[in-house]
A and B are shown apart, each in its own frame.
Chain A
Amino acid sequence: MQHPAFEEVSFHHHSDDADFKKRVRKTTILLSVLTVIELAIGLTIYNIHKGPNPSAGLVLAFKGLVCILTLAKAYYIVSVFMHLGDEIRNMIMTIVVPLMLFIWFIFAFIYEGNSYKNLKNTYDPYFKETTMPKPHQAAEEAPVEKPSGKE
Protein backbone atom coordinates (compact mmCIF):
# COMPACT_ATOMS: atom_id res chain seq x y z
CA MET A 1 0.00 0.00 0.00
CA GLN A 2 1.20 3.49 -0.79
CA HIS A 3 0.10 5.34 2.33
CA PRO A 4 0.17 3.74 5.79
CA ALA A 5 -3.34 3.49 7.17
CA PHE A 6 -2.21 3.31 10.76
CA GLU A 7 0.58 5.25 12.38
CA GLU A 8 1.67 2.36 14.54
CA VAL A 9 2.31 0.20 11.50
CA SER A 10 5.61 1.64 10.35
CA PHE A 11 6.76 -0.91 7.85
CA HIS A 12 4.82 -2.38 4.96
CA HIS A 13 5.56 -5.50 3.05
CA HIS A 14 5.97 -4.87 -0.62
CA SER A 15 5.17 -7.91 -2.63
CA ASP A 16 5.55 -8.06 -6.33
CA ASP A 17 2.33 -8.99 -8.12
CA ALA A 18 3.86 -11.71 -10.29
CA ASP A 19 5.87 -13.07 -7.36
CA PHE A 20 2.77 -13.24 -5.23
CA LYS A 21 0.70 -15.03 -7.87
CA LYS A 22 3.47 -17.56 -8.36
CA ARG A 23 3.67 -18.21 -4.62
CA VAL A 24 -0.10 -18.67 -4.28
CA ARG A 25 -0.19 -21.02 -7.27
CA LYS A 26 2.69 -23.07 -5.88
CA THR A 27 1.07 -23.35 -2.46
CA THR A 28 -2.30 -24.32 -3.95
CA ILE A 29 -0.70 -27.09 -5.99
CA LEU A 30 1.27 -28.24 -2.97
CA LEU A 31 -1.84 -28.40 -0.75
CA SER A 32 -3.76 -30.30 -3.44
CA VAL A 33 -0.95 -32.79 -3.96
CA LEU A 34 -0.62 -33.38 -0.21
CA THR A 35 -4.38 -33.93 0.02
CA VAL A 36 -4.32 -36.41 -2.85
CA ILE A 37 -1.46 -38.31 -1.17
CA GLU A 38 -3.45 -38.35 2.07
CA LEU A 39 -6.48 -39.75 0.26
CA ALA A 40 -4.34 -42.42 -1.38
CA ILE A 41 -2.99 -43.43 2.03
CA GLY A 42 -6.53 -43.45 3.43
CA LEU A 43 -7.61 -45.86 0.70
CA THR A 44 -4.50 -47.98 1.29
CA ILE A 45 -5.44 -48.28 4.97
CA TYR A 46 -8.98 -49.28 3.93
CA ASN A 47 -7.62 -52.01 1.64
CA ILE A 48 -5.24 -53.27 4.31
CA HIS A 49 -8.22 -53.58 6.68
CA LYS A 50 -10.21 -55.46 4.04
CA GLY A 51 -7.35 -57.77 3.23
CA PRO A 52 -6.92 -61.28 4.60
CA ASN A 53 -4.23 -60.44 7.16
CA PRO A 54 -4.27 -56.80 8.30
CA SER A 55 -0.95 -55.77 9.80
CA ALA A 56 -1.54 -53.40 12.72
CA GLY A 57 2.01 -52.04 12.49
CA LEU A 58 1.66 -51.11 8.83
CA VAL A 59 -1.68 -49.38 9.46
CA LEU A 60 -0.13 -47.44 12.33
CA ALA A 61 2.82 -46.39 10.16
CA PHE A 62 0.46 -45.10 7.44
CA LYS A 63 -1.61 -43.23 10.01
CA GLY A 64 1.54 -41.60 11.37
CA LEU A 65 2.50 -40.59 7.83
CA VAL A 66 -0.92 -38.96 7.30
CA CYS A 67 -0.47 -37.01 10.55
CA ILE A 68 2.88 -35.66 9.34
CA LEU A 69 1.37 -34.66 5.96
CA THR A 70 -1.45 -32.88 7.79
CA LEU A 71 1.05 -30.91 9.84
CA ALA A 72 2.81 -29.93 6.61
CA LYS A 73 -0.51 -28.72 5.16
CA ALA A 74 -1.24 -26.74 8.32
CA TYR A 75 2.22 -25.14 8.11
CA TYR A 76 1.66 -23.97 4.53
CA ILE A 77 -1.83 -22.62 5.23
CA VAL A 78 -0.66 -20.64 8.27
CA SER A 79 2.62 -19.42 6.88
CA VAL A 80 1.62 -18.57 3.28
CA PHE A 81 -2.16 -18.05 3.20
CA MET A 82 -2.35 -16.37 6.59
CA HIS A 83 1.02 -14.60 6.04
CA LEU A 84 2.26 -15.52 9.51
CA GLY A 85 5.63 -16.30 7.99
CA ASP A 86 5.94 -12.65 6.88
CA GLU A 87 5.34 -11.20 10.34
CA ILE A 88 7.93 -10.12 12.88
CA ARG A 89 9.55 -13.00 14.70
CA ASN A 90 8.45 -11.84 18.17
CA MET A 91 4.85 -11.83 17.02
CA ILE A 92 5.13 -15.32 15.52
CA MET A 93 6.50 -16.57 18.83
CA THR A 94 3.55 -15.20 20.83
CA ILE A 95 1.30 -17.41 18.69
CA VAL A 96 3.47 -20.48 18.30
CA VAL A 97 4.91 -20.85 21.81
CA PRO A 98 1.52 -21.17 23.60
CA LEU A 99 0.46 -23.74 20.99
CA MET A 100 3.43 -25.89 22.07
CA LEU A 101 1.21 -26.91 25.01
CA PHE A 102 -0.51 -29.20 22.53
CA ILE A 103 2.52 -31.50 22.50
CA TRP A 104 2.03 -32.33 26.16
CA PHE A 105 -1.75 -32.17 25.83
CA ILE A 106 -1.92 -34.82 23.08
CA PHE A 107 0.46 -37.29 24.73
CA ALA A 108 -1.04 -36.91 28.22
CA PHE A 109 -4.65 -37.38 27.17
CA ILE A 110 -4.06 -40.25 24.79
CA TYR A 111 -2.00 -41.99 27.49
CA GLU A 112 -4.90 -41.38 29.88
CA GLY A 113 -7.44 -42.90 27.48
CA ASN A 114 -5.25 -45.91 26.86
CA SER A 115 -4.73 -46.47 30.56
CA TYR A 116 -8.51 -46.29 31.14
CA LYS A 117 -8.98 -48.97 28.50
CA ASN A 118 -6.44 -51.24 30.20
CA LEU A 119 -8.14 -50.74 33.57
CA LYS A 120 -11.55 -51.59 32.11
CA ASN A 121 -10.19 -54.69 30.38
CA THR A 122 -8.63 -55.84 33.66
CA TYR A 123 -11.53 -55.18 36.01
CA ASP A 124 -14.65 -55.20 33.79
CA PRO A 125 -15.02 -58.60 32.09
CA TYR A 126 -18.35 -57.57 30.52
CA PHE A 127 -16.72 -54.61 28.76
CA LYS A 128 -13.89 -56.79 27.53
CA GLU A 129 -16.19 -59.55 26.32
CA THR A 130 -18.61 -57.28 24.46
CA THR A 131 -16.17 -54.88 22.84
CA MET A 132 -12.91 -56.75 22.18
CA PRO A 133 -12.58 -57.28 18.41
CA LYS A 134 -13.11 -60.88 17.49
CA PRO A 135 -10.30 -62.60 15.62
CA HIS A 136 -10.29 -61.78 11.93
CA GLN A 137 -11.92 -64.33 9.66
CA ALA A 138 -8.56 -65.59 8.48
CA ALA A 139 -7.60 -66.22 12.06
CA GLU A 140 -10.85 -68.10 12.65
CA GLU A 141 -10.07 -70.40 9.78
CA ALA A 142 -6.57 -71.03 11.05
CA PRO A 143 -7.46 -73.98 13.32
CA VAL A 144 -8.52 -75.93 10.22
CA GLU A 145 -4.99 -75.74 8.90
CA LYS A 146 -3.44 -76.32 12.30
CA PRO A 147 -5.34 -79.06 14.14
CA SER A 148 -3.20 -78.46 17.22
CA GLY A 149 -4.93 -75.09 17.69
CA LYS A 150 -8.24 -76.85 18.33
CA GLU A 151 -9.29 -77.08 21.97
Chain B
Amino acid sequence: MSTPATVHQTKWWSGGKSPFNLEYGKLMMWYFLMSDAFTFGAFLISYGSIRFSQNFWPDPNVVFNAFPGAGHANLPLAFVSVMTFILIISSVTMVLAVHAGHKGDKQGVIKWMLWTILGGLAFLGCQAWEWHHLLTGEHLVLAEGKLELIGQNMRENPWGQLVHDTQALTAALNTSSHETLVHIVHSHNHEHTIAELAAKTDTELKGMINLAEMHVREKGPVAFGGYFFGITGFHGFHVFSGVVINVIMLIMTQKNVFQNKGHYLMIEKAGLYWHFVDLVWVFVFLCFYLI
Protein backbone atom coordinates (compact mmCIF):
# COMPACT_ATOMS: atom_id res chain seq x y z
CA MET B 1 0.00 0.00 0.00
CA SER B 2 1.60 3.25 -1.08
CA THR B 3 0.11 5.93 1.12
CA PRO B 4 1.67 9.37 0.95
CA ALA B 5 3.24 10.84 4.07
CA THR B 6 0.30 13.22 4.52
CA VAL B 7 -1.88 10.34 5.63
CA HIS B 8 0.31 9.60 8.63
CA GLN B 9 0.30 13.22 9.73
CA THR B 10 -3.49 13.49 9.62
CA LYS B 11 -5.21 13.02 12.96
CA TRP B 12 -7.99 10.74 11.74
CA TRP B 13 -9.80 10.50 15.04
CA SER B 14 -9.77 14.16 16.04
CA GLY B 15 -13.19 14.78 14.50
CA GLY B 16 -14.45 16.69 11.50
CA LYS B 17 -13.48 14.00 9.01
CA SER B 18 -14.07 10.33 8.41
CA PRO B 19 -11.50 8.28 10.33
CA PHE B 20 -11.82 5.69 7.59
CA ASN B 21 -11.51 8.32 4.86
CA LEU B 22 -14.67 6.94 3.32
CA GLU B 23 -17.97 8.48 2.42
CA TYR B 24 -20.76 7.26 4.73
CA GLY B 25 -22.78 5.44 2.05
CA LYS B 26 -19.77 3.57 0.76
CA LEU B 27 -18.76 2.47 4.24
CA MET B 28 -22.29 1.24 4.92
CA MET B 29 -22.26 -0.65 1.61
CA TRP B 30 -19.14 -2.44 2.86
CA TYR B 31 -20.86 -3.42 6.10
CA PHE B 32 -23.95 -4.56 4.23
CA LEU B 33 -21.76 -6.72 2.01
CA MET B 34 -20.04 -8.17 5.07
CA SER B 35 -23.42 -9.18 6.53
CA ASP B 36 -24.42 -10.61 3.16
CA ALA B 37 -21.19 -12.60 3.14
CA PHE B 38 -22.28 -14.14 6.44
CA THR B 39 -25.66 -15.05 4.96
CA PHE B 40 -24.09 -16.77 1.97
CA GLY B 41 -21.43 -18.31 4.18
CA ALA B 42 -24.08 -19.77 6.47
CA PHE B 43 -25.91 -21.30 3.49
CA LEU B 44 -22.77 -22.79 2.00
CA ILE B 45 -21.51 -24.14 5.33
CA SER B 46 -24.91 -25.68 6.03
CA TYR B 47 -24.62 -27.36 2.63
CA GLY B 48 -21.14 -28.60 3.56
CA SER B 49 -22.42 -29.89 6.87
CA ILE B 50 -25.23 -31.89 5.23
CA ARG B 51 -22.86 -33.16 2.57
CA PHE B 52 -20.46 -34.46 5.23
CA SER B 53 -23.37 -36.22 6.96
CA GLN B 54 -24.03 -38.39 3.89
CA ASN B 55 -22.28 -41.56 2.81
CA PHE B 56 -22.84 -40.73 -0.85
CA TRP B 57 -23.07 -37.44 -2.69
CA PRO B 58 -23.56 -37.02 -6.47
CA ASP B 59 -20.48 -36.15 -8.52
CA PRO B 60 -21.06 -32.61 -9.92
CA ASN B 61 -19.38 -33.60 -13.18
CA VAL B 62 -22.11 -36.16 -13.74
CA VAL B 63 -24.93 -33.76 -12.85
CA PHE B 64 -23.75 -30.66 -14.70
CA ASN B 65 -22.60 -32.00 -18.05
CA ALA B 66 -25.00 -30.40 -20.53
CA PHE B 67 -24.45 -27.54 -22.94
CA PRO B 68 -27.18 -25.67 -24.84
CA GLY B 69 -27.54 -27.06 -28.33
CA ALA B 70 -25.17 -29.98 -27.69
CA GLY B 71 -27.94 -32.50 -27.07
CA HIS B 72 -26.90 -35.42 -24.88
CA ALA B 73 -23.16 -34.85 -25.31
CA ASN B 74 -21.21 -35.34 -22.09
CA LEU B 75 -19.49 -31.99 -21.44
CA PRO B 76 -18.73 -31.66 -17.75
CA LEU B 77 -17.90 -28.15 -16.48
CA ALA B 78 -18.25 -26.58 -19.95
CA PHE B 79 -21.38 -24.51 -19.47
CA VAL B 80 -20.56 -23.39 -15.95
CA SER B 81 -17.16 -22.16 -17.10
CA VAL B 82 -18.95 -19.97 -19.67
CA MET B 83 -21.10 -18.58 -16.84
CA THR B 84 -18.02 -17.95 -14.70
CA PHE B 85 -16.24 -16.08 -17.47
CA ILE B 86 -19.33 -13.97 -18.18
CA LEU B 87 -19.37 -12.86 -14.56
CA ILE B 88 -15.61 -12.17 -14.41
CA ILE B 89 -15.78 -10.07 -17.59
CA SER B 90 -18.81 -8.12 -16.36
CA SER B 91 -16.87 -7.44 -13.16
CA VAL B 92 -14.03 -6.01 -15.24
CA THR B 93 -16.37 -3.75 -17.24
CA MET B 94 -17.78 -2.54 -13.91
CA VAL B 95 -14.27 -1.60 -12.75
CA LEU B 96 -13.89 0.38 -15.96
CA ALA B 97 -17.26 2.11 -15.39
CA VAL B 98 -16.18 3.13 -11.89
CA HIS B 99 -12.88 4.40 -13.28
CA ALA B 100 -14.68 6.44 -15.95
CA GLY B 101 -16.80 7.87 -13.12
CA HIS B 102 -13.65 8.95 -11.25
CA LYS B 103 -12.66 10.95 -14.29
CA GLY B 104 -16.18 12.37 -14.66
CA ASP B 105 -16.40 10.78 -18.10
CA LYS B 106 -20.16 10.42 -18.61
CA GLN B 107 -19.98 8.65 -21.97
CA GLY B 108 -17.46 6.18 -20.56
CA VAL B 109 -19.70 5.38 -17.60
CA ILE B 110 -22.67 4.81 -19.92
CA LYS B 111 -20.68 2.57 -22.23
CA TRP B 112 -19.21 0.34 -19.51
CA MET B 113 -22.46 0.20 -17.51
CA LEU B 114 -24.23 -1.06 -20.63
CA TRP B 115 -21.66 -3.86 -21.03
CA THR B 116 -22.00 -4.74 -17.35
CA ILE B 117 -25.78 -4.95 -17.59
CA LEU B 118 -25.46 -7.09 -20.70
CA GLY B 119 -23.12 -9.46 -18.84
CA GLY B 120 -25.55 -9.70 -15.93
CA LEU B 121 -28.45 -10.50 -18.26
CA ALA B 122 -26.38 -13.10 -20.10
CA PHE B 123 -25.54 -14.76 -16.79
CA LEU B 124 -29.21 -14.82 -15.76
CA GLY B 125 -30.13 -16.34 -19.13
CA CYS B 126 -27.54 -19.09 -18.66
CA GLN B 127 -28.83 -19.82 -15.19
CA ALA B 128 -32.42 -19.99 -16.44
CA TRP B 129 -31.36 -22.49 -19.10
CA GLU B 130 -29.49 -24.60 -16.56
CA TRP B 131 -32.39 -24.70 -14.10
CA HIS B 132 -34.82 -25.56 -16.86
CA HIS B 133 -32.55 -28.33 -18.09
CA LEU B 134 -32.19 -29.85 -14.60
CA LEU B 135 -35.89 -29.60 -13.77
CA THR B 136 -37.24 -30.99 -17.03
CA GLY B 137 -34.52 -33.50 -17.99
CA GLU B 138 -35.65 -37.05 -17.18
CA HIS B 139 -33.31 -39.72 -15.86
CA LEU B 140 -33.92 -43.40 -15.37
CA VAL B 141 -33.73 -44.58 -11.76
CA LEU B 142 -34.41 -47.86 -10.00
CA ALA B 143 -36.34 -47.25 -6.79
CA GLU B 144 -37.95 -49.98 -4.68
CA GLY B 145 -37.78 -52.47 -7.52
CA LYS B 146 -39.42 -50.13 -10.04
CA LEU B 147 -38.00 -48.17 -12.95
CA GLU B 148 -38.89 -44.48 -12.91
CA LEU B 149 -38.02 -41.40 -14.94
CA ILE B 150 -37.41 -38.43 -12.69
CA GLY B 151 -35.92 -34.96 -13.02
CA GLN B 152 -33.74 -33.02 -10.61
CA ASN B 153 -36.06 -31.02 -8.37
CA MET B 154 -36.62 -30.18 -4.71
CA ARG B 155 -38.23 -33.53 -3.92
CA GLU B 156 -36.24 -36.02 -5.94
CA ASN B 157 -32.68 -36.58 -7.02
CA PRO B 158 -31.87 -38.92 -9.91
CA TRP B 159 -28.09 -38.91 -9.33
CA GLY B 160 -27.66 -41.82 -6.92
CA GLN B 161 -25.19 -44.65 -7.37
CA LEU B 162 -25.07 -46.62 -10.61
CA VAL B 163 -27.01 -49.87 -10.49
CA HIS B 164 -24.77 -52.77 -11.61
CA ASP B 165 -27.24 -55.51 -10.66
CA THR B 166 -28.55 -56.52 -14.10
CA GLN B 167 -30.92 -59.11 -12.66
CA ALA B 168 -32.72 -56.51 -10.58
CA LEU B 169 -32.92 -54.22 -13.63
CA THR B 170 -34.39 -56.91 -15.87
CA ALA B 171 -36.90 -57.85 -13.18
CA ALA B 172 -37.91 -54.20 -12.82
CA LEU B 173 -38.24 -53.87 -16.59
CA ASN B 174 -40.52 -56.89 -16.77
CA THR B 175 -42.92 -55.47 -14.18
CA SER B 176 -42.94 -51.95 -15.73
CA SER B 177 -46.24 -50.65 -17.05
CA HIS B 178 -46.83 -49.97 -20.75
CA GLU B 179 -46.75 -46.21 -20.07
CA THR B 180 -43.39 -46.38 -18.29
CA LEU B 181 -41.91 -48.43 -21.14
CA VAL B 182 -43.09 -45.86 -23.68
CA HIS B 183 -41.48 -43.09 -21.64
CA ILE B 184 -38.20 -44.94 -21.21
CA VAL B 185 -37.91 -45.57 -24.96
CA HIS B 186 -38.94 -42.01 -25.75
CA SER B 187 -36.34 -40.52 -23.40
CA HIS B 188 -33.52 -42.14 -25.38
CA ASN B 189 -34.98 -42.45 -28.84
CA HIS B 190 -36.39 -39.30 -30.38
CA GLU B 191 -37.11 -40.83 -33.77
CA HIS B 192 -40.57 -41.95 -32.71
CA THR B 193 -43.36 -39.87 -31.28
CA ILE B 194 -45.07 -40.94 -28.06
CA ALA B 195 -48.19 -41.89 -30.03
CA GLU B 196 -46.20 -44.19 -32.33
CA LEU B 197 -44.48 -45.85 -29.38
CA ALA B 198 -47.75 -46.26 -27.48
CA ALA B 199 -49.09 -48.32 -30.39
CA LYS B 200 -46.29 -50.88 -30.00
CA THR B 201 -46.54 -53.94 -27.78
CA ASP B 202 -44.62 -54.27 -24.52
CA THR B 203 -42.29 -56.89 -26.01
CA GLU B 204 -41.41 -54.61 -28.94
CA LEU B 205 -40.72 -51.75 -26.53
CA LYS B 206 -38.56 -53.91 -24.27
CA GLY B 207 -36.57 -54.94 -27.35
CA MET B 208 -35.75 -51.27 -27.92
CA ILE B 209 -34.34 -50.82 -24.42
CA ASN B 210 -30.73 -51.67 -23.71
CA LEU B 211 -30.43 -51.26 -19.93
CA ALA B 212 -26.66 -51.76 -19.92
CA GLU B 213 -26.22 -48.60 -22.00
CA MET B 214 -28.66 -46.50 -20.03
CA HIS B 215 -26.66 -45.99 -16.81
CA VAL B 216 -29.59 -46.61 -14.50
CA ARG B 217 -29.03 -45.08 -11.06
CA GLU B 218 -30.55 -45.22 -7.63
CA LYS B 219 -32.17 -42.13 -6.19
CA GLY B 220 -29.64 -39.74 -4.65
CA PRO B 221 -29.78 -37.55 -1.54
CA VAL B 222 -32.84 -35.27 -1.64
CA ALA B 223 -30.96 -32.40 0.05
CA PHE B 224 -28.92 -31.89 -3.12
CA GLY B 225 -31.78 -30.21 -5.00
CA GLY B 226 -32.83 -27.99 -2.12
CA TYR B 227 -29.31 -26.70 -1.57
CA PHE B 228 -28.50 -26.30 -5.25
CA PHE B 229 -31.67 -24.43 -6.17
CA GLY B 230 -31.71 -22.53 -2.88
CA ILE B 231 -28.17 -21.22 -3.04
CA THR B 232 -27.86 -20.64 -6.80
CA GLY B 233 -31.34 -19.10 -6.64
CA PHE B 234 -30.30 -16.75 -3.85
CA HIS B 235 -27.21 -15.84 -5.86
CA GLY B 236 -29.29 -15.42 -9.02
CA PHE B 237 -31.57 -13.09 -7.09
CA HIS B 238 -28.52 -11.03 -6.16
CA VAL B 239 -27.49 -10.89 -9.81
CA PHE B 240 -31.00 -9.82 -10.74
CA SER B 241 -31.11 -7.05 -8.15
CA GLY B 242 -27.60 -6.04 -9.24
CA VAL B 243 -28.82 -5.68 -12.82
CA VAL B 244 -31.79 -3.59 -11.62
CA ILE B 245 -29.47 -1.34 -9.59
CA ASN B 246 -27.13 -0.99 -12.58
CA VAL B 247 -30.03 -0.06 -14.86
CA ILE B 248 -31.11 2.63 -12.38
CA MET B 249 -27.52 3.92 -12.23
CA LEU B 250 -27.43 4.00 -16.03
CA ILE B 251 -30.64 6.02 -16.23
CA MET B 252 -29.39 8.42 -13.54
CA THR B 253 -26.12 8.86 -15.43
CA GLN B 254 -27.99 9.56 -18.63
CA LYS B 255 -30.15 12.16 -16.85
CA ASN B 256 -26.98 13.95 -15.65
CA VAL B 257 -27.83 13.35 -11.97
CA PHE B 258 -24.23 12.50 -11.10
CA GLN B 259 -22.76 15.15 -13.34
CA ASN B 260 -24.80 17.80 -11.55
CA LYS B 261 -23.74 16.42 -8.17
CA GLY B 262 -20.14 16.64 -9.27
CA HIS B 263 -19.22 13.04 -8.48
CA TYR B 264 -20.04 9.49 -9.48
CA LEU B 265 -19.85 7.89 -6.01
CA MET B 266 -23.15 6.06 -6.57
CA ILE B 267 -21.53 4.13 -9.41
CA GLU B 268 -18.80 3.08 -6.98
CA LYS B 269 -21.37 1.78 -4.52
CA ALA B 270 -23.25 -0.12 -7.22
CA GLY B 271 -19.86 -1.41 -8.35
CA LEU B 272 -19.05 -2.77 -4.88
CA TYR B 273 -22.34 -4.66 -4.89
CA TRP B 274 -21.69 -6.04 -8.38
CA HIS B 275 -18.19 -7.24 -7.48
CA PHE B 276 -19.62 -8.91 -4.41
CA VAL B 277 -22.02 -10.86 -6.64
CA ASP B 278 -19.01 -12.05 -8.66
CA LEU B 279 -17.18 -12.89 -5.42
CA VAL B 280 -20.04 -15.04 -4.18
CA TRP B 281 -20.17 -16.86 -7.51
CA VAL B 282 -16.52 -17.81 -7.08
CA PHE B 283 -17.50 -19.70 -3.93
CA VAL B 284 -20.76 -21.12 -5.31
CA PHE B 285 -18.77 -22.36 -8.31
CA LEU B 286 -16.29 -24.00 -5.93
CA CYS B 287 -18.84 -25.66 -3.67
CA PHE B 288 -21.32 -26.92 -6.24
CA TYR B 289 -19.35 -27.52 -9.41
CA LEU B 290 -15.73 -28.18 -8.53
CA ILE B 291 -15.64 -30.16 -5.29
Contact = CB atoms under 8 A, between A and B. Distances in A.
Interface in A12-50: 15, 17, 20, 24, 28, 31-32, 35, 38-39, 41-43, 45-46, 49
Nearest to A135: B164
Contacts of A42: 61, 76-77, 289-290
Contact of B7 (A3, A11, A73, A112): A11
Q: How large is the interface on B (under 10, 10 to 19, 20 to 34, 35 or more residues)?
A: 35 or more
Nearest to A60: B291
A32 B19 CA distance: 36
A109 B49 contact: yes
Nearest to A78: B279
Interface residues of A, number: 68
Interface stretch (B96-104, B116-124, B180-188, B248-256): B96-104
A104 to B, nearest CB: 11
Interface in B210-234: 221
Given A1-B102, A63-B291, A131 B54 contact: yes
A63 B102 CA distance: 40
Nearest to B4: A11
A140 B45 CA distance: 35
A70 B45 CA distance: 16
A132 B56 contact: yes
Contacts of A1: 102, 104, 263
Contact of B20 (A77, A82, A87): A87
B55 A110 contact: no
By secondary structure, the A interface counts as helix
Contact of A8 (B18, B261, B276): B18
B262 interface: yes
A8 to B, nearest CB: 4
Contact of A11 (B6, B30, B279): B6
A128 B53 CA distance: 12
Given A90-B19, A102-B41, A109 B48 contact: yes
B290 A77 contact: no
A133 B53 CA distance: 14
A95 interface: yes
Given A90-B19, A90-B20, A113-B50, A77 B279 contact: yes
Given A5-B23, A70-B282, A10 B77 contact: no
Given A5-B261, A67-B286, A99-B34, A39 B41 contact: no
A-B CB proximity, top 10 nearest = A113-B52, A113-B49, A5-B263, A46-B61, A91-B20, A8-B18, A113-B53, A131-B55, A116-B53, A109-B49
6 contacts: A5-B263, A82-B271, A89-B1, A109-B45, A109-B46, A133-B56
Interface of B: 1, 6-7, 10, 12, 16-24, 27, 30-31, 34, 37-38, 41-42, 45-46, 48-56, 59, 61, 76-77, 81, 84-85, 88-89, 91-92, 94-96, 99, 102-104, 161, 164, 221, 261-263, 265, 271-272, 275-276, 278-279, 282-283, 285-286, 289-291
